Structure 1
C-alpha cells in the first residue's frame, strides 16, 4: 500500500490515509487500498475494532480528476466504475463486520465527510471542519450523502449542511450529534484508539455486538444502499454539466488533476 497505512495494536486496526500532498483526497487506487485494509482487518480474527484516520488532514473528498472524468461521460464504463470504487471506500467502512471509529482532524469534505459518517462513531478535533461542499462547486451530492447526514444528526442538520452548505466545527459537531467527543488535535487519535480498544479486547464479541447494533439502530426512511443509487443519477447529471465536453474545460481539468484543494 502506498496511500494507506495499516497497523494493529491492542487488537485495534488503524487505517491511516497517507497522501498529505493532496490532503488525503480519495483517488481510485487509494480507495482500493482502503477497501483492502478494511477487509484485511475483518479477516483477522485477532482484530476487534477499526480506527480510520488521516492525520493532520482527514480527507478532502475525491480527487478532482475522478469527478471530471465521470462528468465527461457518466455512463462510460471505466469512469462509472472508478466513481463506484470511490463510493466503495466508505460503503465498505460502513459495512465491515467490526466496530469502526473515525478520528477526524483537519477537514472532512464531500466524500471524506461520507467516510467519517460511515463509521459507527466519530472522535474529532475541536477545530475539525466538517463540510459537504458538493453544491458549492456545482455538483449534486453522491454516495447517499443526505441519508448519512440524516441518520447521524437528523433532518435539520442534513438540510443545513447538505442543502445550504453549512460548515461545522468539531465542537459544533458534538452539539449536533455528528460526533461523540471533541479533543485537542494532539489527543484525537489517542482517544479514538483508547475507545476502540475497549470493545476490541474481545474480538469475537465485538463482531457479534456490531451486527446487533447495526440491525437494531437502522433509522426509518431510505436505506443507505438505496440512497447511493438515488443520488447517482442526479450526481452524474451534475458532473456531466460541469465537466462535459461542451464546457471547454480541458485545460482546467488538467490542472485539477494535481490540485490539492479540498473538494468532494
Structure 2
C-alpha cells in the first residue's frame, strides 16, 4: 500500500511529500493522519532543524478529497461529518505547530485546504505558473480551517477579500507581489530552492529551533488566534456543505481547473 506521506531526513532537513498524485494530493483522512504522524516524528527528532513540505507529481495540494467532501455534505452536522472536517483541520494545525521552521514548495497549485496547508508554513516558494486559490466560495462552500486568519497573516484585508470571498486565483508571480509567497521560481527550481532555504536550519538544529520559537513569540498571535478561528468558521462551512448536498460534488471541477 502506498504511503500517503513520504518522510525523509537529510542533513537535518525533514522532507514531507504528499503522496497522492493521482488526485493531486487531495487531503483525505489517511493523508491527514499520516501528516500528523510525520510532524510528531519531526518534533521528537532533535537532529531535525527545519522541514520542507511538497507534493508528488508536480502538484502541491488540490484541497480536501472530493469523495470525503461529498460524504460530509450528505450529513454535515453528524458526528462523522464534524470529525471528518476536523481531521483535515488537525493536519495543517499540527503542521503549523512544528517546532522547526517550515518551507512549502508549491508547484502546480494550492487550492482550498491545500492553500491552508501552504499558509501554515513559515515560508512559501512557489512556481511562477502555480495557481494559488482559496477556492471555497467558487465551489459553493464557506471557507474553513481558519482560512481568513491564515490569509490575513500575510496579505492585506483587501487582498483577503478578493481571494477568500470573491474567489480570485493568482499565479506564483502575483502571489509574491501580494505577500502570499517569499519568492517565485521556474517550476523545476521550486523544490531545490525550498531545500536550499531549509538547509541552514539543518546545520544547527538546536539554535534554529530556539530562533523560530523566539520569532513566533515576538511576532505574536493575530487579534483572533488561528485556533479560535477554526471553530468560528466550522459551523458556517458545515451549513454550506448541507446546502450543497452530496450529489453536487459529482463531476465538480476543481477550483484550479
Q: How many residues in Structure 1 have an aligned counterpart in Structure 2?
A: 254
| Offset, 1:220 | 3.6
Q: Which residue of 1 aligns with 2:254?
A: 262
Distance 2:220 2:26 in 1: 29
Q: Is the Cα contact below 8 Å between 2:138 and 2:255 reproduced in 1?
A: no
Do structure 1's residue 241 and structure 2's residue 243 form an aligned pair?
yes
Distance 1:155 1:199 in 2: 32
The 5-angstrom pairing of residues 1-264 of structure 1 reads 2-55=3-56, 56-218=58-220, 220-243=222-245, 249=247, 255=250, 262=254
TM-score by length of 1: 0.92
Task: Report the aligned-residue RMSD.
Answer: 1.6
SS where residue 123 of structure 1 aligns? Answer: strand
Distance 1:3 1:228 in 2: 24
More deviation, 211-220/87-96:
211-220
Distance 1:35 1:263 in 2: 26
Distance 2:8 2:221 in 1: 33
Distance 1:154 1:220 in 2: 13
**Which consecutive aligned stretches of 4+ in structure 1 deviate over 6 angstroms post-superposition?**
none
More deviation, 107-116/87-96:
87-96
Structure 2: gaps (5+ residues): none
Q: Is the Cα contact below 8 Å between 2:112 and 2:136 reproduced in 1?
A: yes
More deviation, 197-206/115-124:
197-206
